[in-house]
Amino acid sequence: MMHGNLLPRVIMQMMGAAWRRWRTEVKATSYDSNTPLEELVAIQPIPHGLTPQTWEVLCNYWKYTEKISKINRENANKKKGTHAQGRTNIPSLEYKFSQENGRKSSRIEIQQLSRRSRKKGGAAVDDEAIRIENLLKEVVDHLLQDKPEGTQPLEVHEEAFREVFGPEHSGRVRCLGAGALPSQVFPEQCKRSSMYWQDYHSNSDLTDKFKEMRETI
């Protein structure tokens, strides 16, 4: 017999799965990504007997996800460098570095190590990796000029890394391997400022409509 506390959760999971299947069917049969949002919302009669409000919410949601997908593709194409160590992951590179050098590595050093090819005798894997190495070195040297005399390069590596690569993406930290989260590594710098969070929560009307749909379901 199913535990009483488990039953509501299972029911909600089943309802969620049914809702997603139905939403997929509606999109496949009635939604055209090439049609402007204003025209989609104005379609008559409204597909599947939906209310005007529900149809508008769905169209806004699908248009928004298309926008996010496009941004993600563009960001992927801008990706700087390619991991070239095969099955040797970031933690393994960090451990090997610490054993050989007697200290913890910086993210710049891991960035460079992970972009070097063993087949090329440790040379940079491609021209992009060389460009990034040179750029990071230039930034480190420039930052050191404004630091007190005697400041070691490693002390400014993190600042230079952030300047070259920009803020971290939600859910991961570059050159720290799987599992590292920005909120754990840089708690003082992390603010929930992703485009999704800002756009979704800045549109109070759309948020209210989603809440109404959820309550109706």
Are the CB atoms for 111 and 159 separated by under 8 Å? no
What is the structure's pLDDT at 1? 47
Q: Which helix (H) or strand (E) holds 117?
A: strand 116-117
> Which tokens sit at 24?
């997929």
Would you list the domain boundaries of the chain?
6-78+196-216, 90-165
**Over the stretch 64-77, which tens digit does the pLDDT of each residue have?**
888 887 876 776 55
CA distance 32 to 66: 12
Q: Which helix (H) or strand (E) holds 116?
A: strand 116-117
How far are the Cα atoms of 12, 87, 150, 177 from residue 91, in angstroms, in the given order? 39, 11, 30, 6
**Over the stretch 179-191, which tens digit does the pLDDT of each residue have?**
565 555 555 555 5
pTM (predicted TM-score): 0.44
What is the structure's pLDDT at 128? 80
Distance of alpha carbon 116 from its chain centroid, rounded? 25
